[in-house]
């Protein structure tokens, strides 16, 4: 189906475009992008887009697709269906699969399974073999196969010598090394953020310092190795943000991401013992959330990523301490961001599109997405002011482990367009 979006607001931050236009997409190509009228054909559906925004397709650089190995939680197909439903035209899948993404054969398997989908799938591979922290993975070979960055996500590279070696290996190809920042010796068996509340609830705590120790160490190792590219995944504490800001101010090539749940929720909700609130890193205190919002405003945080982490119902419906960490996020990400950052007055739409589309691609050296006549359409179209109630039964992913079911949000994805495919969001 071909679509003509009449009088839509196009925002393309990289080109400095923010204008009302008539946008015609035919056979996957942008045929018209101008305030002038277009001579469209009879096969094209006309959509009154006065209240819609078109942006370069959203891109999430931190997603767990669970394939290979745990397809009962999510698969490449169902995960990308969820991504398109949430407005994403690109994702990066994490390496903590079974087998781990530490070998070119696994990379090629994922690339083959990702063909023909609306949502592009890029791949992050493990820093160490089997994510065990003992031997470096064949990083250069993996990079040649198309891997866009390296992380042992779900586990920190604990040994300083091993992390230094990873930075040294990264130097020849200027690879990006990302870290799940957690000193596991301080967090073993944790269930929530460590505060007075965790003691009252009888739950093992995860102190802020466990994240900050690794961030500080890694920044120092990155500098020691010659100012190598270093990315902090799902940053969650005020102290870690201060470390990243200081590193950036001193000229180090450090970046970071934050999840919508960490700028939306706090650990006060843990009194409900809802296992869909259990995640890693855990929900933090109000001061941390406030620091995250300030860091989004001042540019310390480079991008918003979901850390989409599907788990089956039987895995989450257990005692709180036994439940796995993680929540899904692809289908609520844009709504939460618009509600809590745009409508709350913290960020403009231009700034949000940079955080969710432009910056992650730029970090990973993926070509920027343009919105202009004659090129392949890669678009997210959303209604910034439309109110809706989250209903997880409408989600396209296999797992439904979200704490946001029933939340009222303002701002909704409407269409994802990419690879000559279009998905109309069903939320």
Which whole-number Å values give the CA distances from 405 to 201, 303, 327, 388, in the listed order?
Answer: 24, 24, 12, 11
Residues 178 and 175: their CA atoms lie apart, in Å, by 10
Which whole-number Å values give the CA distances from 26 to 11, 62, 356, in the listed order?
Answer: 20, 31, 25
Give me the residues paired with residue 55 across strands. Answer: 380
- 312 contacts: CB under 8 Å, gap ≥ 6: 72, 73, 398, 399
DSSP result, 122-158: EEEE-SBGGG-SSSB--HHHHHHTT--EE--TTS---
Residues 208 and 179: their CA atoms lie apart, in Å, by 16
Helix, coil or strand: residue 48: strand
HSE-CB at 390 with a 13 A cutoff on CA atoms is 24
Is the bond leading into 68 cis (omega within 30 degrees of zero)? Answer: yes
Q: Burial of 68 by CB count in 10 Å (0-12 exposed, 13-18 middle, 19+ buried)?
A: middle
Residues 165 and 134: their CA atoms lie apart, in Å, by 11
Q: Is 307 a catalytic residue?
A: yes
Give me the residues paired with residue 379 across strands. Answer: 56, 417
Residues 243 and 247: their CA atoms lie apart, in Å, by 6
Residues 27 and 373: their CA atoms lie apart, in Å, by 13
Q: Say which of 152, 307, 385, 405 is annotated catalytic.
A: 307
CA angle 78, 60, 94 (to 5 degrees): 70
Question: Tokens 């010796």 belong to which residue?
Answer: 185
234-270: string of b/e by CB count within 10 Å (b at 16+)? bbbbbbbbbbbbebbeeebebbbbbbbbbbbbbbeeb
The residues assigned a catalytic role are: 307
């Amino acid at each position: 189906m071909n679509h003509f979006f009449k009088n839509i607001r196009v925002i393309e931050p990289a080109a400095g475009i923010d204008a009302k236009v008539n946008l015609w997409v035919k056979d996957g190509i942008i045929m018209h992008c101008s305030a002038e009228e277009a001579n469209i054909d009879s096969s094209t559906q006309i959509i009154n887009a006065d209240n819609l925004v078109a942006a370069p397709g959203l891109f999430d650089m931190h997603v767990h697709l669970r394939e290979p190995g745990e397809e009962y939680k999510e698969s490449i197909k169902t995960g990308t269906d969820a991504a398109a439903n949430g407005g994403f035209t690109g994702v990066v899948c994490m390496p903590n699969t079974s087998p781990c993404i530490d070998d070119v054969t696994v990379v090629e398997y994922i690339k083959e399974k990702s063909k023909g989908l609306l949502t592009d799938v890029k791949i992050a591979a493990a820093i160490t073999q089997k994510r065990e922290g003992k031997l470096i993975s064949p990083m250069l070979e993996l990079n040649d196969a198309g891997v866009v960055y390296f992380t042992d996500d779900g586990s920190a590279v604990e040994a300083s010598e091993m992390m230094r070696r990873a930075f040294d290996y990264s130097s020849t190809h200027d690879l990006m090394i990302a870290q799940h920042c957690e000193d596991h010796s301080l967090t073993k068996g944790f269930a929530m953020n460590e505060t007075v509340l965790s003691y009252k609830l009888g739950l093992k705590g995860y102190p802020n310092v466990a994240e900050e120790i690794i961030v500080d160490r890694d920044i120092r190792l990155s500098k020691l190795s010659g100012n190598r590219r270093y990315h902090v995944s799902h940053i969650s504490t005020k102290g870690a943000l201060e470390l990243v800001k200081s590193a950036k101010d001193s000229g180090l090539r450090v970046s970071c991401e934050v999840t919508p749940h960490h700028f939306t929720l706090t650990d006060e909700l843990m009194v409900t013992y809802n296992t869909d609130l259990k995640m890693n890193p855990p929900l933090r205190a109000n001061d941390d959330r406030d620091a995250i919002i300030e860091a989004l405003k001042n540019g310390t945080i480079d991008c918003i990523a979901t850390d989409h982490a599907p788990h089956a119902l039987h895995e989450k419906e257990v005692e709180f301490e036994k439940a796995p960490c993680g929540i899904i996020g692809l289908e609520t990400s844009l709504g939460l961001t618009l509600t809590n950052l745009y409508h709350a007055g913290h960020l403009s739409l231009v700034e949000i599109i940079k955080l969710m589309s432009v910056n992650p691609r730029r970090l990973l050296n993926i070509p920027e997405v343009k919105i202009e006549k004659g090129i392949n359409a890669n678009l997210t179209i959303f209604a910034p002011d439309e109110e809706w109630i989250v209903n997880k039964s409408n989600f396209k992913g296999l797992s439904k482990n979200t704490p946001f079911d029933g939340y009222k949000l303002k701002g909704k994805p409407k269409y994802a367009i990419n690879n000559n495919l279009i998905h109309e969001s069903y939320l």
